[in-house]
Chains A and B, each alone.
Chain A
Amino acid sequence: METSDDFKLSCPIPISNYPAVLMAHGGGGRLMQQLIGKMFAAAFSNPLLDQQHDGAVFDVGGAKRLAFTTDSYVVRPLFFPGGNIGKLAVCGTVNDLAMCGARPRYLSCGFILEEGLPMETLWRIVQSMKREADAAGVQIVTGDTKVVDKGKGDGIFINTAGVGVLEHDRVIAPKSVRPGDAILINGDVGRHGIAIMAVREGLEFETAIESDCAVLSGLAMDVLAAGAEVHCMRDLTRGGLASGLNEIAESAGVGIVFDEVAVPVREDVHGACEILGFDPFYVANEGRFITFVAPADAGRALAVMRAHPLGAGAQIIGSVTAESPGLVTMKSRIGATRIVDMLSGEQLPRIC
């Protein structure tokens, strides 16, 4: 049985810093990274987990390796322009498998439902999950349902876990990243976060900004099938492009340099960010990923991306360097350079 001594003796996050969990511990920034690093990764450490990838890739004795991942979805509002919590729950987990270089095959699905959730709402979510699963070529093969008291949940929480198959013998992971690699992105950044923010906070812009939420496995498989020497892929969810680049720079022990002007940001997203005091490079996406490719293959990978509807806006945004391991720097619009750090918590709208 656990006693309070277990906590006192070895809690790796000093009480003096944060005695309780803050929202920022889930914000995709430095605090979340510390929580995962000091608490979860330290407690559960093993060779697969320690690779710090979107999922674990392992061998179970057959000819092909498997990829395994999980993610929970707690978005509010449940429906937003361009998607809903069900669509996210399928896309997010499928995308994590794709980022391991795997073809997604099977999902599990755990529902935590709050007493009072309208059946009509649940049905719309379930239908949306079915549609996305079909589009991604995955089957939802096992699941779980729990109901909690009214007030103890936010309508519905969904957890999905996924299994995929690697149809090649390459290692698509941060540790494969090499100095000189080109970094590609498949389109404009910041749309999902701003779409959610606009609905949640009742902000009205001239045009409705739609989430970029999409299944990325088709595009990722195309890039791999084209034979380009892909070293790593990472989807840019919470914390956005800046956090994704920082995570890879740290895990791979390399420096990253990118060009501000090369990263596509839609005008309406840019405008909303200016109003709120946000940096679009830190805003969440649900249909964007970066790909690290050997320099000789960058042009080919870019052409393959641009031929796919979800990669039409693809760009080469920067490259990997051997200098300043762990550091991401950006060439600014006016020609100066600066660090692009990971945020400590969530972005907060500022005063003036």
Chain B
Amino acid sequence: MRTLLTNGHVIDPANGVNRVADLHIADGKIERLDFEGSGRRVGGDDEIIDATGLLVCPGLIDMHVHLREPGQSAKETIATGTRAAAAGGFTSVVCMPNTAPPADNASTIAWIKERAAREAVVNVFPTGAITKGLAGEELTPIGAMYHAGIVALTDDGHCVQNHEVMRRALEYARMFGLPALDHCQDYNLVGKGVMHEGYWSAVLGLPGWPSAGEEAIVMRDILLAELCQTPIHCQHLSSAGSVRLVREARARGVPITAEVCPHHIALTDESLRGFDTNFKMNPPLRAERDVEALIAGVADGTITILCSDHAPHCDYEKEVEFDCAPFGIVGLETELGLFLDILVHKKRAIDAAKLVEMFTLNPARLLRLDRGTLSPGAPADITLIDASLEWTVDKAAFASQSRNTPFHGMTLRGRAVRTIVAGKTIWALQ
């Protein structure tokens, strides 16, 4: 099977490519790039895809996704979650271990991989819990999970509070080259907080979740990453102070990285004034100055990875009193549009090539995945993007099983139009 993607604007940050070229795919692998002029037929192509006017990128990777299996299939399944990923332009997802039961042992990891092999339409890379039952106390069988195929350790949704436990986990993980992904939340400082602590929490009478509750753990992670020399990746950064801490630490060469989610740069805490639980996130939506700092952190390379924190919940779980509702929103099908719209078009914080790098090369490097590049011989995971296409978010059209989004009805500029995994088109915009 040979496929030719002709006349697209190829962006392959791993190889410094950013120009119009033809891309040849053979038997599920990248064969070569042809810069000699568009549309030259070598002959023998089974499929020719005209990519004129489109960006041709390595398949995008979302390294922060909740697929909810095993155990929470009312919210999402590996089948529906990976279809949502495909519809959002993603060829790989990294799934979080806070399932029921948690992915804190090798057999659950094996179950996820086996399930994904049968039902997923994109690559699924599982992570394993740092501590048993995500309880923050005892180490999981990290070595066994590594051999079962995890790409990182994380207690996401929870946060190891005991610094000594975290330190030993990091030291142990270093044997396997596994990074830790940390949901930075100090339980004492955050308490029962459900929204950013500031003017709006004062007005609404909702318990505040102060920025310091994130920053205290970001600081802890910087100290431990330095001590153990194990890479720590701070998940879903939300505050200006966190950006500043990570910036300073990276300048000193500490092995620390950070990601940002679209909602934290698209919305502020004022959105909660109507008590709509689709604006309830953890960490919470923060103030305008935090949004600006996050965007600046993307622009200056402090934040190197973009992701969704795709967190599906059933409508009946979200449609309750504000403080009773679960945290989180779905994101796979809106994130590329939001990031393109805000970071590339409106704020001009980065260009499209940088955005692609943050979705491909950077997560692939951190997690040591053989993805995120168009190098000859690499798996032919490719995303075609129309960076200027205007479209309107319609939650009824989501492939995800859940609809908990605050972005319904929003018009965005830019989206994926075709998703190719191992040489095969698995989704295309109708």
Is B one of A's binding partners?
no
